[in-house]
Amino acid sequence: MSYDGSAIDPTKPSIARVYDYLLGGKDNYAVDREIGDVFKRDLPGSVAIAFANRAALTRAVGQIAKTTDIRQFIDLGSGLPTADNVHQVAQRHAPESRVVYVDIDDQVLVHGRALLEENDRTRVVAVDVRDPEGIRSHPATLEIIDFTRPVAVIFSAILHHVNDDEDPAGIVRYWRDQVPSGSHFFISHFRSGNNPETREAEKVLQQTFGRGRWRTDTEIASLLDGLEILDPGIVPAPLWRPDESDSPWNSGEQRELTVWEHLIAAGMARKP
């Protein structure tokens, strides 16, 4: 299969483009908006999952750049360029930060190459996240990632698109074994609420893409086996270090979370 961007198919919905639509982006087609509208219309409020996720990612990258010496990031399932991409957030705090973006969506690759590879510290790698060895050994990765130095490995809203029989824990384990002590791992993941909203949203994703797996906090934590999960643990994304927010989507206001905001979890871990 070609991942060079030549195979954009506007007749089939794509995870990246539906997500872009939910975030208010313009890189989507009618077929993507149709799926996005199922969420907007039938599951009102569900768009909060996408915003809460993106805000937690932004906080996590900002904190890694501000509070650690890590200057290299691998962003797995990076998605379409949006308001605050990982290199922009990291380079705001530490301009020398380098980022490898990994995605297999053809639209992401076309726009990614234009917008994410904007300086000599970013690269876009078109390899499936289920082939970590292929990502690790890709020339573009080797060009800017020094695996003898700590790395931030980002699994933001990607592992819920990896089904159980595709061994998501094995993917994390692979990266854990490749990076040195002090490396950080950020994860955000659909969080099972064991409620009708979760079941309905899961059904829509499974019917559309054949993937989309909600996991419990315990299941998500077990994906980070062998890593030290940092405070405050695996929690609903809006509650993940909200005070440190520099995100445009998080005003830091105190209020009850909506049912939807409970359905996306975030957490950070460190390799001991």
The residue whose two tokens read 């086996």 is 225
Minimum CB distance to ligand SAM, residue 128 (Å)? 4
Give the range of 71-79, 172-180, 213-221, 226-234 binding ligand SAM by CB under 6 A.
Answer: 71-79
Q: Which of 13, 36, 62, 79 binds ligand SAM (CB under 6 A)?
A: 79
Q: Which of 46, 72, 156, 247 binds ligand SAM (CB under 6 A)?
A: 156
Give the range of 63-71, 72-80, 229-237, 263-271 binding ligand SAM by CB under 6 A.
Answer: 72-80
Annotate 200-267 with DSSP letters as a single string.
Answer: HHHHHHHHHHS----B-HHHHHHTTTTSEEPTT-SEEGGGSSGGG---TT------PPPTTGGGEEEE
| Of 89, 19, 15, 83, the residue nearest 49 (C-alpha) | 19
Distance (Å, rounded) from C-alpha 260 to C-alpha 233?
Answer: 19
User: Tokens for 243?
Assistant: 């005070």
Minimum CB distance to ligand SAM, residue 117 (Å)? 16
H/E stretch holding 136 reads helix 132-136
Q: Is 128 in the site for ligand SAM (CB under 6 A)?
A: yes
Give the range of 154-162, 168-176, 221-229, 258-266 binding ligand SAM by CB under 6 A.
Answer: 154-162
Q: Which of 54, 87, 123, 271 binds ligand SAM (CB under 6 A)?
A: 54
Give the range of 50-58, 193-201, 235-243, 247-255 binding ligand SAM by CB under 6 A.
Answer: 50-58
CB environment 231-257: b (16+ within 10 A), e (fewer): eebbbbbbbbbbeebbbebbeeeeeee
Q: Is 89 in the site for ligand SAM (CB under 6 A)?
A: no
Q: What is the DSSP letter of 24?
A: T
For the CA atoms of 41, 47, 49, 53, the dihedral, rounded to the nearest 10 degrees, stands at 160
| Residues of span 226-265 touching ligand SAM by CB under 6 A | none
Q: Which of 63, 78, 91, 198 binds ligand SAM (CB under 6 A)?
A: 78
For ligand SAM, the closer CB: 17 or 121 = 17
For ligand SAM, the closer CB: 36 or 150 = 36
Distance (Å, rounded) from C-alpha 239 to C-alpha 132?
Answer: 30
Contacts of 267 (CB under 8 A, 6+ apart): 186, 187, 188, 220, 221, 224, 229, 230, 233, 234, 235, 240
Q: Which of 158, 179, 201, 224 binds ligand SAM (CB under 6 A)?
A: 158
Give the range of 62-70, 98-106, 193-201, 264-272 binding ligand SAM by CB under 6 A.
Answer: 98-106
Query: Where on the chain is the footprint of ligand SAM (CB under 6 A)?
Result: 15-16, 19, 53-54, 57, 77-79, 102-105, 108, 128-130, 156-158, 161
